[in-house]
């Protein structure tokens, strides 16, 4: 098997790019999704800060859900949106106006966008075993 082939011999031309996209954010993604760090999400979901070692998996699932939410939008869409926000901010600054964008935070101390469910789905997707394969299908994971 070659470096970018699957078990059937099909070339995965964009596998490296796809993996990078799933593990790294795009500049401006915070303006497109309701992004919060893992500590803030723990406060919203559990009412406390994460505890080292006890909540490591929990924090990892929150990070995965954040990155998946960012990867759910096309990179060009995110960049175009960020460019529009920056242009509006520059234009407003040129004549002393505060931009009319609503503040992105602070977020309320509750789950307003389904992060709790996303974390549960992420964990289920990582730990579940299928009946036929070593993994489960998307439809099985999304049932919750």
Q: Can you give the residue ranges of every domain in the chain?
A: 15-141
Q: What is the pLDDT of residues 77-122, one digit of tens each?
A: 888 988 999 999 999 999 999 999 887 777 888 988 889 988 988 8
| Residue keyed to tokens 């006890």 | 54
Span 46-84, pLDDT tens digits: 999 999 999 999 999 999 898 888 887 888 888 898 899
> What is the Cα 139 distance to its own chain's centre?
19
Q: Is 24 left (phi over 0), alpha (psi -120 to 50) or beta?
A: beta
Does the global pTM surpass 0.85?
A: no
Q: What is the pLDDT of residue 1?
A: 45
Which residues are CB-contacts of 125 (< 8 A; sequence separation ≥ 6)?
136, 141
Q: Given its phi and psi angles, is residue 96 left (phi above 0), alpha (psi -120 to 50 degrees) or beta? A: left
């Amino acid at each position: 098997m070659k470096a970018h082939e699957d078990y059937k011999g099909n070339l995965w031309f964009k596998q490296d790019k796809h993996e990078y996209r799933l593990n790294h954010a795009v500049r401006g993604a915070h303006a497109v999704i309701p992004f919060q760090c893992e500590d803030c999400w723990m406060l919203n979901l559990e009412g406390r800060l994460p505890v080292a070692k006890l909540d490591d998996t929990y924090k990892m699932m929150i990070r995965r859900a954040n990155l998946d939410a960012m990867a759910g939008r096309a990179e060009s869409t995110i960049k175009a949106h960020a460019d529009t926000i920056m242009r509006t901010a520059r234009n407003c600054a040129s004549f002393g106006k505060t931009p009319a964008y609503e503040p992105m935070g602070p977020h309320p101390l509750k789950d307003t966008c389904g992060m709790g469910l996303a974390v549960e789905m992420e964990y289920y997707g990582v730990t579940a075993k299928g009946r036929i394969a070593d993994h489960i299908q998307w439809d099985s994971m999304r049932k919750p």
